[in-house]
Structure 1
Amino acid sequence: MTTIPSAKGRGTVRPIRRLGDPVLRTECDPVRTFDTSLKRLIDDMFASMYAAEGVGLAANQIGVSLQIFVYDCNDDEGRRHVGHVINPLVVAEDGDVVTDTEGCLSIPGLNFATPRFAHAVVEGVDADNEPVRVEGTGYFARCLQHEASHLRGGVYIDFLKGDTRRDAMRAIRSAGWS
């Protein structure tokens, strides 16, 4: 593992789990202990996300079955959003359904047109167990929905339909890493 700067200037890069690993398809457990090891995990998540050039990462993507995700993502107006949410609950997914290209660090190199709501609100707590509410539109809303889905054992290909889903399944089978 390599140590690189995270959002807080530290963190250890952990391997990203790929589709086929059971941890990605298992609902994560709530975080109950808020201590220095939790903060270290969040730093590691940021470091792993940045090393993989992602905009979001759920804890189960590095093999930790806890309800945490991190993000560093722009919205459609170019505003940058950086943070983490622990024990997230999606309290709103609404607005138009927009189909746009989406990818995933656990399904590397593949991107497919995926429908998502244009607006999302997530509530949870931070590493100090203080309440947080994160609201996003456009690309950032897509990121929030994507990461929250991971923590329920989902991946973005679950939202694909018809020919797009068939194309995704073919591409995944031939990718050689699944």
Structure 2
Amino acid sequence: MEDVVLPVAQKGEEVLNLVATKVSPREFGSLWLHQLSQAMQTTMKYHHGVGIAAPQVYVSKRIIIVASRPNPRYPDAPDMPEIVMVNPEILTASSEKCLGEEGCLSVKGERGRVLRAQKIVVEYYTVMGERIQQTFFGFPARIVQHEIDHLNGILFVSYL
């Protein structure tokens, strides 16, 4: 199957205001979930993103991809492997916060400084349904928080 770049929902579109639905246990490992996560990764890379959430591609499901790496939009981003997170939940967030610049594929041309937790612990599932618990610091933690906000119908501009 060739790489698919999906259309990206823009601020003001209803799908971005919805609380996304959890992926059900029977959907883990499905062709649908594999194809969606692949298309989300292709779309994110095409637009030089460091993360993407399923609602941004018109699918109101709790799926995000976190992929910090230097690119034209974030030249100083640390390099990390791409992680597809299904049904992610922040278990703990540090009281230590940091202010950092954010942009969004769904909010073209706007950037702003947002206060986020410096460290978070996240529980999520892989596409195959394996449960993972992982700690994120700094910029990757910011990406996870930004993308989980999308799953809850929140855009970063609401913090500005």
With normalisation by structure 2, the TM-score equals: 0.88
Structure 1 unaligned runs (5+)?
4-9, 161-178
SS in 1 for 2:3: coil
Does residue 78 of structure 2 align to residue 86 of structure 1?
no
User: What's 2:23 paired with?
Assistant: 31
- The answer (yes or no) to whether the contact 2:68–2:78 under 8 Å persists in 1 is no
Deviations 1:114-168 (A, max 9, x none): 11111112111111011122321111110010001100111112222xxxxxxxx
User: What's 2:97 paired with?
Assistant: 97
Q: Moved runs in structure 1, 4+ residues, more than 4 A?
A: 74-77
- The answer (yes or no) to whether the contact 1:85–1:132 under 8 Å persists in 2 is no
Which protein shows a greater Rg? 1
- Pairing of 1:1-178 with structure 2 (within 5 A): 11-32=3-24, 33-34=27-28, 35-74=30-69, 78-160=78-160
User: Could you tell me how far 1:11 is from its partner in structure 2?
Assistant: 3.4
Deviations 1:79-119 (A, max 9, x none): 41311100111112114211111111100121111111111
User: Could you tell me how far 1:12 is from its partner in structure 2?
Assistant: 0.9
SS in 1 for 2:39: helix
- The answer (yes or no) to whether the contact 2:77–2:139 under 8 Å persists in 1 is no
2:77 and 2:107 map into 1 onto residues whose CA distance is 27
Structure 2 unaligned runs (5+)?
71-75
User: Could you tell me how far 1:77 is from its partner in structure 2?
Assistant: 9.0
Cα separation, partners in 2 of 1:96 and 1:51, compared to 1, 3 Å: same
1:54 maps to amino acid: G
1:66 and 1:11 map into 2 onto residues whose CA distance is 21
SS in 1 for 2:21: coil
Deviations 1:53-92 (A, max 9, x none): 1000000000000000012115989341311100111112
2:40 and 2:3 map into 1 onto residues whose CA distance is 8
- Structure having greater relative contact order (Cα 8 Å, sep ≥ 6): 2
- Residue correspondences, number: 152
Give the superposed CA RMSD: 1.9
2:23 maps to amino acid: V
2:104 and 2:121 map into 1 onto residues whose CA distance is 21
1:21 and 1:78 map into 2 onto residues whose CA distance is 31
1:60 and 1:102 map into 2 onto residues whose CA distance is 18
1:117 maps to amino acid: A
SS in 1 for 2:120: strand
